[in-house]
A = this chain, B = another copy of it.
Amino acid sequence: MDSVPLDKANNYSKEIIETRHRFIEEKTGVKLQHVNQYSFDPDTTKGNIENFIGVAQIPIGLAGPLQVNGEYAQGEFLIPLATAEGTLVASYNRGMRLINMCGGALTTISGNSMQRAPVFIFKNSRVARDFSHWVKEHYQEIKAACNSTTKIGRLIRIEQYLSNKFVFLRFNYTTGDAAGQNMVSKATFVGVQYILENFKDIDRFYMESNLATDKKASMINILSTRGKRVTAEVTIPGNLLQERMRTSVESLHYHFGIASVGGFVSGVNNNGLHAANGLTAMFIATGQDVANISESSTGIIYCEENPKDHLYISITLPSLIVASYGGGTGLATQRECQDILGCYGQDGVMKLAEIMAAAVLAGEISLAAAISSLDWIWSHERMGRNR
């Protein structure tokens, strides 16, 4: 088969896109009737996609309002959720209503950094160890090199992990309102060049070797943060749980204990329930790099009965990777969803992170209550497809 048609002069023109449509029809017999319908100028996708042929149309449902009591997000928010999974919007909505009745979710950001982690290989562990000292001593020079590449990204810390004859350097940056993976790649690359030029005994190096860990869930991200580390929490009176959710403080608290054991046994990266569901729907709607769900879906949930007959519940997302600028955030529908949340552009990213954490909390409460009250499956049956 030929390659996908390309136009080096203007690869986003109506003509080349239509040529591709004919190519698809020729090769597969599929005549596009939906993928080829979109509301924006394809030129605006330059830098976001190659070989453009159209769009995936993902249904958006509106959840909320959700009361968020954050440091950046304050007030009620409507939450656009892009998903094809029946009951998801309804379930999150149910949790949001309950949170609102409790006065809203308190949100706090306690960490913020994006990483790139090159590895340096030496003749032996002795030289590796000496290199590790050298890096500490030359931190200021390395930092200057990294920061020279970007006005927004700032190197804040280099973590070191030594093993065998390797030194893994994990460069940590703040990245403004961008998620920042590209920004930190470029910055680290220049930092690495400084290192390569000034420490003579490096045998070889790779720009990445599983210490970042981009697009993957990991213990290092749980411990050391990737993107934003954000917590959402709420205290729910027992009577609300009974009236609204047909369950009890005791049952939800008990489930937390069991789920802690279950998560320990299964080696899961999230001892909660389904943070991935709400996050994915918000990521798609707001133009995030959805592949980061692999990291961002990690979560740490905690419950207690405190005060008496109240359920305190909180979730920490230790590696939430979000942006209010750059990447896909400025695309047509994505920007509108960012605007619905009031987050697009400068100074929006922390607000966005807080709203997302609060929404995730709503989903945890809703599903935990459903499990406790046994109506989980029935709700799927009622609202979901028949298979």
**Given A30-B336, A265-B163, A293-B280: A80 and B53 interface contact (C-beta under 8 Å):** yes
Contacts of A135 in B (CB 8 A): none
- Does the CB pair B64–A258 fall under 8 Å? no
Binary interface profile of A, 239-280, with partner B (CB < 8 Å = 1, else 0)? 000000000000000111111111111111111011111011
Binary interface profile of A, 361-384, with partner B (CB < 8 Å = 1, else 0)? 000000000011010110011011
A54 proximal to B (CB < 8 A) = yes
- Does the CB pair B262–A277 fall under 8 Å? no
Binary interface profile of A, 198-213, with partner B (CB < 8 Å = 1, else 0)? 0000001011111101
- Does the CB pair B61–A53 fall under 8 Å? yes
A197 proximal to B (CB < 8 A) = no
Contacts of A385 in B (CB 8 A): 47-48, 182, 326-327
A223 proximal to B (CB < 8 A) = yes
**Given A84-B328, A163-B265, A300-B265: A380 and B185 interface contact (C-beta under 8 Å):** yes
Rounded to whole angstroms, the CA-CA distance of A61 and B257 in the bound complex is 36
Task: Identify 21 residue pairs between A and B in the complex whose beta-carbon atoms are under 8 Å apart, listed by A's number.
Answer: A1-B76, A4-B64, A20-B62, A30-B339, A47-B384, A48-B385, A49-B60, A50-B383, A108-B129, A109-B129, A125-B231, A206-B371, A216-B270, A216-B297, A218-B268, A223-B267, A257-B303, A280-B290, A280-B291, A284-B284, A294-B297
